[in-house]
């Protein structure tokens, strides 16, 4: 939806709000076997990817999302070596994962190969680690892949998916979380993008409940800004096997040997602080 030909606008009926970006031109549009993918050049936010009418990422602010979807979970695990990314076709999360020297193997399971190929062309900076020998790509169903995974074969699962509608709806279920739990070794960590705390408690509360019902010992949501998503305030929710989600390798995070634009030890600690309305919503009976 657009205000006119110079603006791209995404409306959020649930939040009674909208967000617009001023565009210079459309760079690409195609219908893949799964979804409609559009790329715009914007005046202030670099390139913009839109899938089925919803903003996925921009060049300017994607670092917020990709860093918070990867580094907190990896520093929560005591020694992450084997990572599976479900979704994440733009490859930004994969790039962040591979900044960690402990990673031995990172598998990206993306159902739509066209998202990755389009990202290679229009977001090459996100794909700069695609040829890393530790990276592997599988284009197929992430839900089925996780159901078939060998028990104890994964340290960290990152669910970098679209909103819980259509095919992605199955990624927000107790059955899927149980498959993740079974695939993980000791101290396994699951992290999933989990929408806006201001608009989507109807999604977030059942997520926490389903993760715990699947066997995880602890859950915690991380709060961070995301200007181009509904409300501008987003979350990633972690579930931990055999531990707590509120403790992490703080010294390692402080001494990280790579550059970030947003993530650091203090932000990790602060992102775990829970707003009172959120705490109350989780504590209230269904």
Q: Is 160 assigned a catalytic role?
A: yes
Is the confidence at residue 131, as pLDDT, over 90?
yes
pLDDT tens string 253-270: 999 999 999 999 999 999
Q: What is the pLDDT of residue 2?
A: 47
pLDDT tens string 72-111: 999 999 999 999 999 999 999 999 999 999 999 999 999 9
Is the confidence at residue 272, as pLDDT, over 90?
yes
Binding residue ranges for S-methyl-5'-thioadenosine: 35, 110, 141-142, 167
Please tell me the distance from the alpha carbon of residue 241 to that of residue 78, in angstroms, as a whole number. 12
Q: What is the pLDDT of residue 112?
A: 96
Q: Which CATH class is domain 62-283?
A: alpha beta
Catalytic residue, chosen from 160, 179, 217, 284, is 160
Is the confidence at residue 142, as pLDDT, over 70?
yes
| Structure tokens given for 12 | 């959020």
| Fold (CATH) for 7-58 | Spermidine Synthase; Chain: A, domain 2 (2.30.140)
Which pTM was predicted? Answer: 0.96
pLDDT tens string 7-45: 999 999 989 999 999 999 999 999 999 999 999 999 999
Is the confidence at residue 182, as pLDDT, over 60?
yes
Binding residue ranges for spermidine: 66, 90, 160-163
Closest CA to 228 of 115, 23, 61, 63: 61
| 4 CB neighbour count, 10 Å cutoff | 6
| Structure tokens given for 155 | 């340290």
- What residue spans define the domains of the chain? 7-58, 62-283
């Amino acid at each position: 939806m657009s205000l006119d030909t110079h603006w791209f606008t995404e409306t959020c009926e649930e939040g009674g709000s909208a967000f617009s970006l001023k565009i210079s031109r459309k760079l690409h549009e195609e219908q893949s076997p799964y979804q409609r993918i559009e790329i715009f050049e914007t005046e202030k936010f670099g390139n913009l990817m839109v899938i089925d009418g919803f903003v996925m990422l921009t060049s300017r602010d994607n670092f917020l999302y990709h860093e918070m979807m990867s580094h907190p979970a990896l520093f929560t695990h005591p020694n992450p070596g084997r990572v599976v990314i479900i979704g994440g076709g733009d490859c930004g999360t994969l790039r962040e994962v591979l900044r960690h020297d402990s990673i031995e193997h990172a598998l990206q399971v993306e159902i739509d190969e066209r998202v990755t190929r389009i990202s290679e062309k229009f977001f090459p900076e996100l794909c700069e680690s695609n040829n890393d020998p530790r990276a592997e790509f599988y284009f197929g169903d992430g839900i089925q892949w996780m159901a078939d995974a060998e028990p104890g074969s994964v340290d960290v699962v990152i669910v970098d998916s679209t909103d819980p509608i259509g095919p992605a709806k199955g990624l927000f279920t107790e059955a899927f979380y149980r498959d993740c739990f079974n695939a993980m070794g000791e101290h396994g960590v699951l992290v999933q993008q989990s929408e806006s705390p201001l608009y989507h408690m109807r999604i977030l509360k059942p997520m926490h409940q389903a993760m715990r019902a699947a066997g995880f010992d602890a859950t915690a949501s991380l709060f961070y800004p995301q200007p181009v998503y509904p409300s501008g305030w987003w979350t990633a929710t972690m579930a931990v096997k055999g531990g707590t989600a509120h403790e992490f390798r703080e010294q390692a995070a402080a001494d990280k040997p790579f550059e970030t634009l947003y993530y650091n030890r203090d932000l990790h600690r602060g992102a775990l602080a829970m707003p009172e309305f959120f705490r109350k919503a989780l504590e209230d009976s269904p």
